[in-house]
Amino acid sequence: MNADYSQILKEIYEETLELQGQGRVAAYIPALAGVNPKQYGIAIQTLQGESFQIGDALLPFSIQSISKVFTLTLAFQTLDEALWSRVGREPSGNAFNSLIQLETEHGIPRNPFINAGALVVADCLISHFPNPLAEIVQFARKLSDNPTVNFNTALANSEREAGFRNAAMVNLMKSFGTIHNEVNAVLDVYFHQCSLMMNCLDLAKAFLFLANGGVNPWNGRSILTGSQAKRINALMQVCGLYDDSGEFAFTVGLPGKSGVGGGIVALIPNSLAICVWAPELNERGSSLIGMKALELFTTKTGISIF
* Residue 304 bears catalytic tag: no
Amino acid at 132: P
d(CA 53, CA 129): 36
Whole-angstrom distance, CA of residue 19 vs CA of residue 138: 36
Q: What are phi and psi of 75, to 5 degrees?
A: -70, -35
Of residues 53, 233, 271, 287, which one binds a copy of itself by CB under 8 A? 233
C-alpha gyration radius of the chain: 18
Question: How many positions of this chain bind a copy of itself (CB under 8 A)?
Answer: 50
Catalytic residue from among 242, 258, 265, 286? 242
CB 32, CB 25: distance < 8 Å: yes
Q: Give me the phi and psi of 39, to 5 degrees please.
A: -65, 145
Q: Is 260 noted as a catalytic residue in this protein?
A: yes
> Residue 65 catalytic?
yes
Give Cα separations from 237 to 157, 207, 263, 271 (angstroms): 31, 14, 16, 17
Q: ∠ CA(252), CA(267), CA(9), 5° rounding?
A: 70
State the Cα torsion 263-267-272-275 to the nearest 10°.
Answer: -10
Applying CB under 8 A, among 39, 127, 225, 299 the residue interacting with a copy of itself is 299
- Tell me: does residue 168 bind a copy of itself (CB under 8 A): yes
Please identify, using beta-carbon distances, which residue of 79 and 238 lies nearer to a copy of itself. 238
Q: Are 44 and 52 in contact (CB under 8 A)?
A: yes
182-201 positions binding a copy of itself, by CB under 8 A: 183
Query: How many H-runs (helices) and E-runs (strands) does the chain carry?
Result: 13, 7
Q: Does 239 bind a copy of itself (CB under 8 A)?
A: yes
Is position 292 annotated as part of the catalytic site? no
Measured from the CB atom, is 3 or 172 closer to a copy of itself?
172
Contact pattern from residue 76 through residue 115 relative to a copy of itself, giving x for each residue in contact according to CB under 8 A and a dash for the rest: ------------xxxxxxx---xxxx-xx-----xx----
Q: Residues 210-229 vs a copy of itself: string with x where CB under 8 A?
A: -----------------x-x
Residue window 266-285: x/- pattern of binding to a copy of itself, with contact defined by CB under 8 A: ---x----------------
Binding site for a copy of itself (CB under 8 A): 88-94, 98-101, 103-104, 110-111, 164-165, 167-169, 171-172, 174-175, 183, 227, 229-231, 233-235, 237-239, 243-247, 249-251, 253, 255, 269, 299, 304-306
Supply the residues annotated as catalytic: 65, 68, 190, 242, 260
